[in-house]
Amino acid sequence: MADDFPEVVEAIVGPVLAESGFVLDVVDDHVDEGGRFGSVVYYCAADCRVQIYWSSRAGEINCMVAPLDAQNDHGLYDRAGKWHYLREFAEKPSLALEELVKRLKAEKANFETLEKWLTWLRGQIEEHLPAARVGIAQRE
């Protein structure tokens, strides 16, 4: 993945998070994943925190949300269990398995480049962040 992951995150996802009251908090560009390295960009708002991460080990870019007291831990390795995927708080789609598989195959093009993946993730944030904020507040 690109060495400029934090800068690309800030350029593509940062403005959407800023519109929702988040500010850039910390960048950890050297997350040790057992010999491989990942990167995490943390944001903070008045009610919760968000991280956008790239995991070289899992081969993914994703977003997680947590309460304000969550530590700056890469969500995949968060032993406190405070970091949650945005979609944990979204309504589950009531689609047949075949339709779900079709949808996933159609989305494959969204993950071909860093920019495409982050643009797709930005849309997921716009769609699911409001419910995730409510869900995190209810867990506190």
Mean pLDDT score, 60-78? 89
Q: What is the pLDDT of residue 75?
A: 76
Structure-block tokens of residue 13: 């996802």
Percent of the chain with pLDDT strictly greater than 70: 93
Rounded Cα gap, residues 112 and 134, in angstroms: 32
Q: Which residue has the higher pLDDT, 55 or 104?
A: 55
- Is the model's pLDDT at 45 over the cut of 70? yes
Segment 106-127, tens digit of pLDDT: 777 777 888 999 999 999 999 9
Instruction: Write down the mean pLDDT value for the chain.
Output: 87
Residue 103 confidence (pLDDT) above 90: no
What per-residue confidence (pLDDT) applies to 119?
Answer: 95
Rounded Cα–Cα distance for residues 23 and 9 (Å): 13
Residues 42 and 66: beta-carbon distance below 8 Å: no
pLDDT of residue 81: 87
Residue type, 14: G
pLDDT classification of 80: cutoffs 50, 70, 90: confident
Q: Tell me, what's the pLDDT at 28? A: 86
Q: What is the DSSP letter of 92?
A: P
- Region 49-58 average pLDDT: 90
Note the pLDDT of residue 93.
66
